[in-house]
Amino acid sequence: MNEPDLSALDETAVAAGTQPPIEQSELGNEISELRAALDAAVLEQGRFRDEALRARAELDNVRKRAQRDVEAAHKFGMERFIEVFVPVKDSLDLGYDASKTAKDIDTLQEGIALTQQMFDSAFDKLGVQIVDPVGTRFDPARHQAMMTEPSSIVESGTVLRVMQKGYLLHDRLIRPAMVVVAKAPEGT
C-alpha cells in the first residue's frame, strides 16, 4: 500500500474550518491502525475460508460414505435373512430326500414338525409374527374375510377358520390372514 500524500490536504478546507487540521503523526498512527486491522481481517478471512473448505470436504466425505453404506445395504440387506433360513432349507432338502425312500410316515411327519419349528424360530429371529386369529373378533386391519358362515356356536363377527395365516413384521402387516367369519344364522 502506498502512503497517502499529506501535502494533498485541502488547505482551504482546513482554513475554512470544515476539516479539522490533522497532524502528520496522528495520520500516520491512524494509517498504521487501519493497516493492522486490515491485516487481522485478512488473516481471519483466510482462517474462515480454510474452515469452510474443510467443512465442505468433510460433508463430501460423509455423503460418499453414506452412499456406499446405502449401496452395501441394498446389496447385502438380505444377508441376515439368508443366514436364518439356510438351515431351514437344509432341513427341507433332507426331508425331501428321506421321503423318496421312507417306509414309515411317522418319521416323515416328525421331520416336517421339526422343520416347522425351525421356521417358527427363524421368524422369531427376524421379528415376524404369525396372524392366526381363530376364535377372535374379525379385524379388517389384519384379516381378509374370504366368506361368511352362519354359526350359532360363536358370536357373529368371530373368525371361525383360517384359510391362510397372515404375517406381521415388527407389527407391520405383511399379509392379512384369510379367514371365514361367523354370521348370525338366518331366521334369528
Is pTM beyond 0.85 here? Answer: no
Residue 116 forms part of a structural domain: no
- Domain count for the chain: 2
- Specify the CATH number for the domain of residue 137: 2.30.22.10
Please say if the pLDDT value at position 45 is more than 60. yes
Residue 103 forms part of a structural domain: no
Residue 38 forms part of a structural domain: yes
Residue 90 forms part of a structural domain: no
- pLDDT computed for residue 186 by the predictor: 85
Roughly what angle, to the nearest 10 degrees, separates helices 79-101 and 105-126? 180
Residue 121 forms part of a structural domain: no
Residues in the chain: 188
Residue 161 forms part of a structural domain: yes
- pLDDT computed for residue 102 by the predictor: 83
Residue 132 forms part of a structural domain: yes
Residues 6+ apart with CB under 8 A from 45: none
Residue 170 forms part of a structural domain: yes
If one compares 50 and 3, the residue with the highest pLDDT of the two is 50
- pLDDT computed for residue 34 by the predictor: 94
pLDDT in tens, 14-26: 555 555 555 777 8
pLDDT in tens, 88-132: 999 999 999 988 888 888 988 998 999 999 999 999 999 999 999
The position carrying cell 418319521 is: 107
In the structure, what pLDDT confidence band is assigned to residue 42 with cuts at 50, 70 and 90? very high
Let me know if 143 is exposed, middle or buried by CB neighbors in 10 A (0-12, 13-18, 19+). Answer: buried
Please say if the pLDDT value at position 7 is more than 80. no
pLDDT in tens, 50-64: 999 999 999 999 999
Domain carrying residue 160:
127-188
